[in-house]
Structure 1
């Protein structure tokens, strides 16, 4: 590319493109990366606080007659006469029971009753109504109309139970999302259900997400539009505390409800893209990095912290963390373990020699065939890197002592690691030999691997297509297999289940096709681009850009690799076949597959933008 030439760059819509002075070549934002500190979880929590719990509100201060007049009319009534009669009886029973407790509002009476402290509040009401002791009421024989009655009062905002109780007591959540949609916010719940349907989210998974929204509305009041980011975080924190409690909901930690609310725009434009960001503690400070290794000598500990601070502006966090590990653990913590009381960087010759011998080996304890622990010592592959880091540490201090003798001068001493100790020539030769040997061993089987992943992808796709074209209970044959589509008692969305025609275990063909595709896409991208694994996990459809030659107008596809080891992006020209798997990946559904956690890295290799349909 020459200066002053006319160029055209077809970049993704969300990529900022600036034009250079005088119409020069455009500069794509991102090639010069400015490191901006991301907010920590605590900072995000302060920026998005939950709504406070109100002590009283108009609906809970109404009289008994006003409450009955409201909850026994539309939209709280049901068309079915028997069901409506059950609800009416339940509302009357719950209100009569609450009136026996002190308080100026129904919420105060609910809290005074201690219902949330009981394993099942319905037992207390049943005992009171029957005039018998609690031991005389059999388990599961509580009055059947109590739960429907309480559900009506919750949806009518007469009572607001706590988040913890709603998550712990499963019967209180039964039908909650449906009733909240019917009585408070029908349109928004319909939109959230539509998002689940478009994303092919399973019926049970989607219902659980809508129930999470209903739980927040029941505890804090208001419609879906009143839900805040802090309310979602508060719910997940309460679920985390109750996850190990018997009877608590196992799936309450799923963030799908947050994704649905954010996509609908309820949470606002400033809402973080992922709720997991609130649990992030941010990057550790230099002091925290060094204090991991419990260094006894305080002056040396402070010196290591100051050294990391000096290096911090010029290195990324991974490198800084690596320096802390090499200098803090493998160097000084090892010296203190073998020479207690050491307090100077001026190491005696025998101490330095012994340390260099230890650092070149790695000792680990395993269990032998007889069950006894066995200590195994092997060569440390990166031993020279440890020596290089320590040598750089000593030489940097000596150089900085010339500019700031008061700060670094007392620590400028002879380096115990010579230049010959850090020569990597032999290590590089041995490493290249190992890499070449691995390549020689694996290259002959590469065609077999490619054939297998392609065949597996085609096989799973054919099976899924044949199953989707079959009716439940119908037998079909595809890819040499005779299967029967499973008849499900509850309809499922996004999953196609089959079972062998002659009997056997049930199989999820949706997941098999999902795994087959992403395995094929991972192998194809890796073999055509040669990128590293960490770069592959960051690859998305935004990395596909196009460059048009100014003279001929020819369109050249480019693959933009996100920063990995450096702070600058790179764009590599690749053959057109490189882009073959990536468009197929970006055309797949955006909301995660129900079995995403089972896929691990395979699913996350090529990130799919949300909102795309297959």
Structure 2
């Protein structure tokens, strides 16, 4: 149901984000170098500094005219800084307002120039500033340098500061050096760190790179440059072994944080209860993993107590009134989220919360744990012991499991038949993407090509060292990254194939490495069997899977794709999104190169690639909406298909890595074949012993008579409820008949009948018709009883306990048209 955004939704306190916590921890471990305000060059007097700037080693590339312009700007800047307090040029620069002003900083120098009777252009002041920076006379901070970059700065710093260090970098080769701009961007970031902190390339620390990344402020270009520079220096062995393997998503990751930070995200108002939740989670932390700890903090702090504080301000006790507990359960039963609509728009919708029983279970455990601990430590937990507001039936694990099993089975039965179609679409998309990419690589820049009925125009210039174009423009003028399209099509195909042939989890898919493929020689025949080693994930249970020929082809294609020029699979650092920790470098198969850096393919990218394939397939579900495939659906399909084809359940349990065979059977959407076949056999046996005429075909006359019975049930006051084939035993005295079903709309007419009967009784008594009085009183009593029934039904419907079950007259009737029989037509 689509609804408008309520005021309560707007007023909710948003959770404090944890993004950047990991960055803060890294900066504490690896702080940047201190930035002094006194060093030899910045301490020179004005005349000596002029001589230093005119030295050939300090000249920036360009003509004599441009060099003269730089010197004019430098002299003006030095004159201006002499008016500021400080003993060195760096101290004077830091004392100026321009040091903290990234844009338009030169306006202060221009204003000073006008006091001297000059009108110096901004470009001259900027050129002089870059001259002073390259000469190491002043060192602006990284934020200022990134906002005021110059194309001449990096070559000048490279030549004047550390030519040997930069030569060592270029000899080692920049990661991802197939792009001209990649190495240049990384060298620019290194030059900026030297300009801000001084020293040489060898002096750059991990903290310097972290500070540069932080100064980028999320800007795509600056962030990429900082990551590439860090990766380049790390591969040269310049950083300590405990340095981060990658700075990917440095500003967004939170890492593992304390319980206090997890709870304080939701800004609880009652400090005693906040402290209780923190204490409780700290008590539970040694026995659960970090992912469960985060989930538990969300349930207790957000879904439970924060919700209570929002709707019951001032609440400070776990002892909840029945009305408060009931209202919380009612709010928990639904959730309001943004959902994409069939027309592509996004609307705020409310829908049932499927995890509500699990949330209730966690809150109930919270109450029970405190009550149990209160016996052992009354001083610590005793005052918080309170009656549990959730009874056993409200979170029944059996009901929850049955609902989850029903939903999973429905998804599996809906997706298992269409899996071959999805596989064909994935293969077709990969073939078409490769055809387009091959045509792009074979064409020259600036030409127009036609492939698979599509026309592409190639750009005239490319940044690749090999001269091949990177993208093209289609007939509509949109830029198409055909290389990226081919990569996503390949990984979508590989994901579908590996998941459907192994049934592994998506976490295990991302952890498959080159060393995961091993061989085993059978002791009896000596045959070598390839096996896939699946690393422990959910249950910390390692297992080996047989590699089928189809799976071997897919794994071979993946290895050939990720293997580097020397034949090895590059080592990449992966991030455990559940435990919020970095794993050591491993030769993972699910990796690709982005901006010169080898990265693990994220689960989000895998899901997006699957969704793109599904959209191209055009598959729909029972409601006509586009069919969705979650990676875990392939696991259920694999187990279901294996058991249906004769694999013993206990073997399927081992292959799936389940600790309990009931879990495996819960994944298998097995139809009750035995029950269906037994029921069919029972029906066949029953029909064999009963008279054959009972199973004859109904004639047209009999069918017409059957339908006519229901047509004859319609009466003036409602409907007759007598059974089919029976006659009226009350001689159509319908008001007296208990089988008369009176319609509520006929109540006024029934009242008229009652009043008329009363008048007739009075007339009969007045005239002395004793025999008629008795019969009329029976009819009057029946009429009054039916009026009372109508009133009672209306009161029950309007009462709070009415369940909304429609009455018989509210049920839509079905009209059936039957062709008249030949005999009826003749009549």
TM-score, with structure 2 as normaliser: 0.56
Tell me the equivalent position of 2:223: 253
1:119 to 104, 114, 128: 104
Map 1:151-162 → 2, pairs under 5 A: 151-162=130-141
Q: Distance in 1 between matches of 2:474 and 2:260?
A: 64
2:28 to 42, 46, 61: 46
Map 1:345-494 → 2, pairs under 5 A: 345-347=318-320, 352=325, 355-362=328-335, 378-476=351-449, 478-479=451-452, 481=454, 483-488=456-461
Q: 1:398 to 1:470 in 2, by over 3 A?
A: same
Where 2:489 maps in the other structure, the secondary structure is helix
Where 2:282 maps in the other structure, the secondary structure is helix
Please report the RMSD computed on the Cα atoms of aligned residues, expressed in angstroms: 4.4
The offset of 1:200, in angstroms, is 4.4
Q: Distance in 2 between matches of 1:595 and 1:270?
A: 19
Where 1:252 maps in the other structure, the secondary structure is helix
Q: 1:450 to 1:193 in 2, by over 3 A?
A: farther
Contact 1:483–1:498 at 8 Å: present in 2 too? no
Q: Distance in 2 between matches of 1:503 and 1:343?
A: 62
Residue 570 (structure 2) pairs with residue 586 (structure 1): no
Q: Distance in 1 between matches of 2:90 and 2:317?
A: 67
Contact 1:384–1:423 at 8 Å: present in 2 too? yes
The offset of 1:290, in angstroms, is 3.9
Where 1:207 maps in the other structure, the secondary structure is helix
Where 2:221 maps in the other structure, the secondary structure is coil
Q: Distance in 1 between matches of 2:466 and 2:172?
A: 12
Residue 237 (structure 2) pairs with residue 237 (structure 1): no
Q: 1:509 to 1:187 in 2, by over 3 A?
A: farther
Contact 1:473–1:485 at 8 Å: present in 2 too? yes
Where 2:543 maps in the other structure, the secondary structure is strand
Contact 1:261–1:267 at 8 Å: present in 2 too? yes
Q: Distance in 1 between matches of 2:338 and 2:254?
A: 33
Where 1:531 maps in the other structure, the secondary structure is coil
Contact 2:471–2:479 at 8 Å: present in 1 too? yes
Q: Distance in 1 between matches of 2:73 and 2:168?
A: 35
User: Any idea what the Cα deviations from partners look like across 1:118-150, whole Å, max 9, x if unmatched?
Assistant: 71538846984995465xx6xxx5565x65554
Q: Distance in 2 between matches of 1:202 and 1:295?
A: 51
Contact 1:300–1:343 at 8 Å: present in 2 too? yes
1:83 to 63, 68, 71: 63
Map 1:449-598 → 2, pairs under 5 A: 449-476=422-449, 478-479=451-452, 481=454, 483-488=456-461, 496-497=469-470, 499=472, 504-536=477-509, 538-541=510-513, 544-546=516-518, 548-549=520-521, 551=523, 552=526, 554-563=528-537, 565-566=538-539, 568-576=540-548, 577-578=550-551, 579-580=555-556, 582-584=558-560, 586-587=562-563, 591-593=593-595
More moved, 150-159 vs 491-500: 491-500
More moved, 46-55 vs 58-67: 58-67
Tell me the equivalent position of 1:60: 42
Contact 2:474–2:480 at 8 Å: present in 1 too? no
Where 2:418 maps in the other structure, the secondary structure is helix
Q: 1:164 to 1:286 in 2, by over 3 A?
A: closer
Where 2:243 maps in the other structure, the secondary structure is coil
More moved, 443-452 vs 277-286: 277-286
Where 1:473 maps in the other structure, the secondary structure is coil
Q: 1:198 to 1:230 in 2, by over 3 A?
A: closer
Q: 1:482 to 1:199 in 2, by over 3 A?
A: same
1:321 to 279, 285, 294: 294
Tell me the equivalent position of 1:609: none
Q: Distance in 2 between matches of 1:109 and 1:299?
A: 52
Instruction: Give structure 1 stretches of 5+ with no counterpart.
Output: 1-38, 244-248, 607-614
Where 1:266 maps in the other structure, the secondary structure is coil
Contact 2:592–2:598 at 8 Å: present in 1 too? no
TM-score, with structure 1 as normaliser: 0.74
Contact 2:106–2:122 at 8 Å: present in 1 too? no
The offset of 1:293, in angstroms, is 4.6
The offset of 1:540, in angstroms, is 4.5
Instruction: Give structure 2 stretches of 5+ with no counterpart.
Output: 1-20, 565-590, 609-827
The offset of 1:227, in angstroms, is 1.2
Contact 1:107–1:159 at 8 Å: present in 2 too? yes
Q: 1:285 to 1:507 in 2, by over 3 A?
A: closer
Q: Distance in 2 between matches of 1:377 and 1:477?
A: 48
The offset of 1:315, in angstroms, is 0.9
Tell me the equivalent position of 2:239: 267
Contact 2:462–2:468 at 8 Å: present in 1 too? no
User: Any idea what the Cα deviations from partners look like across 1:347-404, whole Å, max 9, x if unmatched?
Assistant: 55565555545544446799999xxxx9976433122212322332333334334433
Number of residue pairs matched by the alignment:
544
The offset of 1:548, in angstroms, is 3.4
The offset of 1:287, in angstroms, is 3.7
Which of the pair has the greater relative contact order for Cα pairs under 8 Å at 6+ separation? 1
Q: Distance in 2 between matches of 1:396 and 1:112?
A: 60
Q: Distance in 1 between matches of 2:324 and 2:175?
A: 67
Q: Distance in 1 between matches of 2:446 and 2:433?
A: 20
Q: 1:187 to 1:454 in 2, by over 3 A?
A: farther
Contact 2:175–2:232 at 8 Å: present in 1 too? no
1:184 to 126, 142, 161: 161
Q: Distance in 2 between matches of 1:113 and 1:408?
A: 59
Tell me the equivalent position of 1:309: 282
Q: Distance in 2 between matches of 1:160 and 1:335?
A: 54
Tell me the equivalent position of 2:176: 199
Contact 1:541–1:583 at 8 Å: present in 2 too? no
The offset of 1:69, in angstroms, is 5.2
Tell me the equivalent position of 1:25: none
